[in-house]
Each structure stands twice: as C-alpha cells, then as structure tokens.
A = this chain, B = another copy of it.
Amino acid sequence: MNLSDLATPAALIDEARMMRNIERMQQRMAALGVRLRPHVKTSKCVEVAQRQCDAGARGIAVSTLKEAEQFFAAGFSDILYAVGIAPSKLDRALALCRSGCALTVIVDSLATAQAVIAKVRMSGHAFDVMIEIDSDGHRSGVKSGDPVLIEIGEALRSGGMTIKGVMTHAGSSYDLDTPDALHALAERERGEAVRAAERLRAAGLPCPEVSVGSTPTALSAAQLDGVTEVRAGVYVFFDLVMSNVGICGVQDVALSVLATVIGHQPEKGWAIVDAGWMAMSRDRGTQRQKIDYGYGAICDAAGHPIDGLILVGANQEHGIVSHRGAPDAAIARHLPIGTQIRILPNHACATGTQFSEYHMLNARGVAQTWRRFDGW
C-alpha cells in the first residue's frame, strides 16, 4: 500500500526512525547498568511495545488499568501501573492479579496505603506496591525526607503487602533545554529516589527496586548508582518538544500525521489541510520553547521537512499551513489541492491518542497497520 491509498488524516510511524530510537535508549541503559521499563502510554500499541521488549526492555509501565488489561491480554505480564491507584480501582487491579498478571501499584499517601491494605484484608491477595517519591516537586509523590515515607512503608509491611521499592518521575525535565540543567535534574531524580530507598532500608523495610525516569533525564544521566530500572516513554517516537529540550533532532521524530491540502488563502500565504486539532491534538507544548512549531512542523509526503513551514492554526478538522516568516504568495502552486503532506507533532503521546491505528512505513511503503488502545 502507498501513502496515496490512505484516507487522511492518518497517523504514520517511520519504522527505521523508531527502531533507531529504541536501540539508542536500550544501549544507553545497558551502558548505565540498569533495566529499561518502557512506558507504553506513548504508543499504546502492542507491536511497538513488542519491539521495545525484543530490544532488551524488561516489563512495561502503563498509565491506565485499561492499558494494563489490554497489554496483559496481549502477553505482557510484568506491568507497573504508574499512576497512584484510586481506591475504587482496586477491584479491577485485583482481578488482573488473579488472572496471573504481575501488576505493581503505587501509593504516595497513608490514606491510599490503608485503602490497599483494607482491600487485601478482604481479598487475601497481597499487592505488589511501590512508594512514589516526589523528586522535583512537579506533581505526585512523597518527599524522600518526609517521615510519612517510613509510616507508609511500615503500614504496607504490617498490612502484609509486598514492598517492591520506590519509584519517581522527574517530569519537570520537559521544561528544560540545556545539557547542564538536564544532567543536574537527572542526578537529583536519582539522588532523591536512592535517598528514599536508603531511608526505608535503614528503618528495616525492604526496598529491592529503585525506579526512576523520564525520557530527558534517562538520556542525560551520567551515572545511575543505586538505581535498578529506568522508565521512559516518549523516546520511542520523540517529538518536537523533545527536539527543543535538546535530546533528539527533528529527523528522529518517528510519528507524523498524513494530511491533504483542501484549500488556500493565497493572499495570506495559507494552505488549508484536513488535519486540525482533532488529528494533531490541542497540545501546544512548543509554545514556550526555543522554537514554536505552532501545531506541528510540515514535511513533504516523503518525510523531508519543508523549511519554515508550520501548522500555524488548527480548528477541529482544518489546519492552517503557513511559513513562519514572510507569507508565500505562491503557496497554492507549491502545495496544490490534493497534495499530501506529513506533520510532525509537538507531543507524540497527545497526537497518537487522536488515532485508533498507526500505519507503519518502511522501505516498502505502508507495510502494516497497527491498532492503538484508548479509553480507561
């Protein structure tokens, strides 16, 4: 199948780029002496996750229990549900465990730990639990020095839970864009997680695993002493935000949206395409970065960037393509109606989720169509 056979908009994966991204991260983790647990929330795709595991990854992280159920049904059994579990979701988690899934849940409060313990008392099943650590103040987790960390650990142990260890995610790495700042945050992420682990162990509590990670810190860490595994998601596709962060190039972005030119406003230098925010998502992650790509960077159908052309605006099913500089008065001649273009996304996780399937491109053209999971 050729690109011209696809109904637009369509999500494309460049297999060669993706495989290069997978190899790069796997080699880096091997060099640092840690296991890699890919976060499959980026792709939500069995074929993509399988390639990550084939390259050497061990286990997966998921962002929803539905992902856990779907990936478990597809043969993945070592699954970390990397969002603090709501007490109302414990029955669903329990059902997964009883089906044979090695599911780990995370907690960052005594209240949630007690809800898990209460469920265990009723069910007789001891959950594998990790304690979430707040290493950079951006979202969830217990501070490594907070007395409640030990209280949670003791509650889990006395409640009969299997304490698997600690995990943290330095998500503020997405806001950085210099190697020095990224390196420092990676070291902070490592240091806070290791410190939390050491405090638990000093209190006589088990803490076999120390799990850290975000794509930018994973690719910026100089050493990961005391860490046992790294989690990273967006590296598999990369995107324009990651390019601005400085950990990949635009030529590494493996996900794009195929679109068709449907109109022009020649005096404004606009071409109108059939990919709006429904296809690209509303993610404007590059808005405050070094280079603002609007809703995406425009490439020709072969995937070569067209210099200076971006998606300057997006309505639900309309995208507005324009040069970031002076308007191209001849845009209707350069991109006539019916022309196919490819748009690189700001944020691969957000753009991917707008589609129920990916079309995988290799040297032979559109080689396969892969399903993408959604929902909760």
Contacts and interface: CB of A to CB of B under 8 A. Distances in A.
Interface in A350-376: 350, 353-356, 374-376
Contact of A139 (B41, B92, B320): B320
Copy tally for this chain in the complex stands at 2
Contacts of A278: 63, 353
B171 A262 contact: no
A264 interface: yes
Interface residues of A, number: 58
Interface stretch (A160-168, A281-289, A322-330): A281-289
Interface in A293-328: 313, 315-318, 320
Q: For chain A, what secondary structure do more than half of its interface residues adopt (helix, strand, loop), or is it mixed?
A: loop
Given A111-B337, A115-B338, A337-B112, A350 B282 contact: yes
Given A139-B315, A262-B112, A263-B108, A87 B338 contact: yes
A70 interface: no
A228 interface: no
A267 to B, nearest CB: 9
A41 B347 CA distance: 24
A72 interface: no
Given A86-B338, A88-B338, A284-B284, A109 B317 contact: no
A350 B283 CA distance: 11
A273 to B, nearest CB: 9
Contacts of A63: 278, 316-317
Interface of A: 4, 7-10, 41, 63-64, 83-89, 92, 108-109, 111-112, 115, 134, 139-140, 171, 260-265, 272, 274, 277-278, 281-284, 313, 315-318, 320, 336-338, 347, 349-350, 353-356, 374-376
